[in-house]
Amino acid sequence: MHRRTLVKSAAALGLAGGFGSVSLSAFAQAKVKPNAKSALIVVDVQNCFIDGGTLPVKGGAEVVPVINKLADSFENIVVTQDWHTAGHASFASTHAGKKPFETTKLSYGTQVLWPDHCVQGTEDAALNKDLKLPTAQVIIRKGFHKNVDSYSAFEEADRKTSTGLAGYLKQRGINTVFVTGLATDFCVAWTALDARKLGFQVYVIEDATRAIDLNGSLAAAWKQMSAKGVKRIQSSDIVAA
Ligand code: VGL
Ligand code: ZN
């Protein structure tokens, strides 16, 4: 770390001015410090994306304790839910002759087709019961227009329809988001990329995410995110392991 960065982070941590004895261990434990203008975004930690659900992400349950612990470091928490109609356009079963994980063309472009998942009001679409976020302030539901998917928490796949989240965050003075949840290469990545596009500082907390990894989608997502200035960090950068 360069000296100037070190001094700046020391100031940010409130350590400038004579607390020499605590400084080094404090750096090791908290390289990134969320503040009142930061929000934790918890993407789609729903039964559908966890073992026993309709579109399970490998290791999906493992993000839950990591996110629960991170929550203590945030004043602002946003939760999202994938919330599809029955017969949604993103479901393979809606398209004759199509199987899950194939693609089709919809009005807005290529759409990956998924197993039926996260149908509104079902237990499958509920937030995982082990997720403990009593201080979360808003739940954004997405993907509820039958003919349009929405991986991103900000904008639907037609690239026109807003979910309202950007306005909500901006009106509350939030300028930095930390994205976690499922899945790294779909809803997390699209949310992070849209947040950058909308002018937020963006961190993805890697060990608080798990991926679907369809045909190299995970590597592609990280490449795109890093090209757009999304910062890739670990939960240990924020809270002691
Ligand atoms: C997601 C595929 C379909 C996600 C949602 O949450 O990443 N992936 N719907
Ligand atoms: Zn979905």
Active-site residue flag, 223: no
CA dihedral 25, 27, 31, 35 (to 10 degrees): 100
What is the Å distance from ligand 2's center to 167 Cα? 23
Question: Running DSSP on this structure, what letter comes out for residue 202?
Answer: E
Ligand number with the minimum distance to the CA of 42: 1
Identify the CATH class of 3-22+32-236: alpha beta
pLDDT class for 205, splitting at 50, 70, 90? very high
The pLDDT of residue 16 is above 70: no
Task: Determine the Cα angle at 78 with ends 74 and 83, to 5°.
Answer: 155
Q: Looking at ligand 1, which residue's alpha carbon is closest to its atom 1? A: 187
pLDDT for the residue numbered 241: 75
Query: Which tokens sit at 127?
Result: 């937030």
pLDDT for the residue numbered 30: 67
pTM above 0.75, yes or no: yes
Span 127-182, pLDDT tens digits: 999 999 999 999 999 999 999 999 999 999 999 999 999 999 999 999 999 999 99
pLDDT (average), residues 55-80: 98
Span 85-132, pLDDT tens digits: 999 999 999 999 999 999 999 999 999 999 999 999 999 999 999 999
Contacts of 225 by beta carbon, 8 Å cutoff, 6+ apart: 189, 192, 193, 204, 232
The pLDDT of residue 6 is above 80: no
pLDDT for the residue numbered 29: 57
d(CA 26, CA 15): 9
The pLDDT of residue 23 is above 90: no
pLDDT class for 11, splitting at 50, 70, 90? very low
182 Cβ inside 6 Å of ligand 1: yes
pLDDT for the residue numbered 28: 54
Burial of 58 (0-12, 13-18, 19+ CB in 10 A): exposed
The pLDDT of residue 10 is above 70: no
57 Cβ inside 6 Å of ligand 1: no
Average pLDDT, the chain: 91
190 Cβ inside 6 Å of ligand 1: no
pLDDT for the residue numbered 92: 98
d(CA 31, CA 1): 11
Catalytic residue among 48, 82, 116, 142: 142
Q: How far is CA 188 from CA 69, 76, 87, in A?
A: 19, 18, 24
CA dihedral 207, 134, 144, 178 (to 10 degrees): -40
Query: Which has more pLDDT, 195 or 5?
Result: 195
CB 209 within 8 A of CB 225: no
d(CA 193, CA 202): 8
